[in-house]
Amino acid sequence: MNPTESGQGAVRPSADDDPLRTDSVHLPAPVESRHRLVPTPLGDMVLAVGDFDGGPAVTGAWFAGQKHFPDAVVLGTADDGQDPLLSRAAEQLKEWFAGERRDFDLPLALDSKPQGLRPPVWQALRDVAFGQTTTYGELALQLGGAGLAQAVGQAVGRNPWSVIVPCHRVLGADGGLTGYAGGLERKRSLLEFEGSLPRTPGLF
């Protein structure tokens, strides 16, 4: 089974699909994975992509050494600088941190066996616009009810696409900063950069 999933509903990929499509995909484990270290103003990030039957997709973007950093099996081999999707993702990150981009236009690979609310939570995070914030409770209500808040929090914390899927835009019920796998100082800096918090002079 090899379904793909996007905001427009489920579609089945074909050999004619654009290999650099922009939908979020719901796929099994990749045949092969590659990663690349990308410098950012908030520290190095590691981007990873995998090859699937429907084409390549980004499997993660992590700050080096952050909580829930993946193991070597997930990262795969080091890229030689030639992978087009890794290059595209790295360029979009560079543009984002330079203030030249607000959204990412990349295919993201979701686990083929959904773990609770993770896939729908990650999709919902992509709808939280640059400069906007939400709360765990608001996401829970959006996805089915206030009783889901704890599960939503766990899914947000396990988001494997730092910055690209903006889990840093989720705040506590009182508007305070809460857990972020990349560290609360990075979360604060990202929100300041986006204008959601007063900006520290010389931030980046």
Active-site residue list: 167
H or E segment and range at residue 153: helix 149-157
b/e map of 95-129 (b: 16 or more CB within 10 Å)? ebbeeeeeebebbbbbeeeeeebbbbbbbbbbebe
Among candidates 186, 192, 157, 188, which has minimal Cα distance to 40? 186
Residues 157 and 184: beta-carbon distance below 8 Å: no
Residue type, 18: D
Beta strands in 105-156 (DSSP E): 108-111, 134-135
Q: Is the dihedral of CA 39, 75, 153, 104 positive or negative?
A: positive
Q: How many CB atoms lie within 10 A of CB 136?
A: 23
List C-alpha distances in Å: 146 to 27, 109, 121, 137, 151. 29, 28, 14, 6, 10
